[in-house]
Amino acid sequence: MQIKTIRDIEVTGKRVLVRVDFNTPIENGKVGDATRIAEALPTIRYLIQKKAKVILLSHFGRPKGKVVEEFRVAPVAAKLSEMLDTKIHTASDCVGEEAESVVSKLKEGEVALLENTRFHSEEEANDAVFAKKLSSLGDVFVAEAFGAAHRAHASTVGIAQYLPTVAGLLMEREVKELNQVFHNPTKPLVLILGGAKIDSKIGVLRKFSEMADTILLGGGIANTFLAAQGFEIGESLYEEDKVELAMDILMEAAARGCEIVLPKDVICADAIAAISDKTSTVDIRAEALPFNLKILDIGKESQQQYAEIIYSARMVIWNGPVGLFEFKPFEKGTKAIAEACAKTKATTILGGGDTLEALKRFKISPEEFTHVSTGGGAMLEFLEGKKLPGVEILGKI
């Protein structure tokens, strides 16, 4: 899939409306992790250099269609100003007289960040009238929010009904890298899935049981599959109503020659123990778990096994931690996978907010991997083969 990008159009002197994903964590009133902002900087700098008038739109948090002070974009604007070393113009709304005034006063090469689009309920409803109001602020629309590309909202897809639409440089890179995985994967291909629930990963599990040589599971997902294989999982987090589904997926994968690997041993804690950095743990065989323990990470033997499988692959896709990595006693499994993915010579594609948070915790640079996606859900849906609304709007070459 070749798509039109900002390189394919004339932007000089034009009002360029850019939908970014600046939904960043805030700590003590300031941006904590600026990764999403940094990823959009090449597009913003390109437009500045081309003397466009740059108008940025983003959602922030979940204000549910109302103005919520803690979800204003002011901290994001401050961080963006610092990173670009330039003034960022702002408005207290993303539509209306003030937004129109701010945009009308922009000079070529200047940047404005308008207020949170989700302060309007019409945003998530993809309301046509609201989308038209947003579109009136620009001459060209640039889709740059891959992390929100699986959502059909007014600011992600609605605007495209009214303005010429192209991809930003980040969106272009995301589509290019994930297309390579979907249409031309390198074998042996290994998929690693963690996290708590199966729901958002059913499709990608089934798709990759056709494509992958091996699927490594950890976290709550693995617990559900262990239960499907008849293991007692004590007080561990799992989805009882998904056990039958897990059995079906195991059989489908086996029939297709794809091996789903579950932890042989697990790191556990007492079910009633308070979780902290000092929680007492035990590494125990998966088939011998007592009823009063809960699984919170993959064990040492499984860490080694998963790493060896990663080293034997030529392409690795990873989404989701395999343990409660936020606490030291349960970080080793996720850390072992992160380090193996960083060291392997294979093509490595990573995604998901928790996965990126783990890299930050372990001080592993995203540059150690072939591609680190800014989208978790969007990445999974793309790899599942679903059409993403925010990608489908892009003009094809």
Q: Which residues are catalytic?
A: 36, 197, 353, 377
Distance CA 153, CA 128 (A): 10
Q: How many CA atoms lie within 13 A of 220 on its CB side?
A: 14
Contact 103, 95 (CB under 8 A): no
Distance CA 123, CA 23 (A): 15
Burial grade of 176 (CB within 10 A; 0-12, 13-18, 19 or more): middle
Distance CA(52)–CA(49), nearest Å, equals 8
The Cα 308–Cα 289 span in angstroms is 25
Q: Name the H helices within 87-145.
A: 97-104, 121-124, 128-135
**Element containing residue 252 per DSSP (H, E):** helix 243-256
Cα-based distances in Å from 101 to 81, 92, 132, 158:
20, 11, 17, 22
Compute the distance between CA of residue 260 and CA of residue 210 in angstroms, rounded to an integer: 12
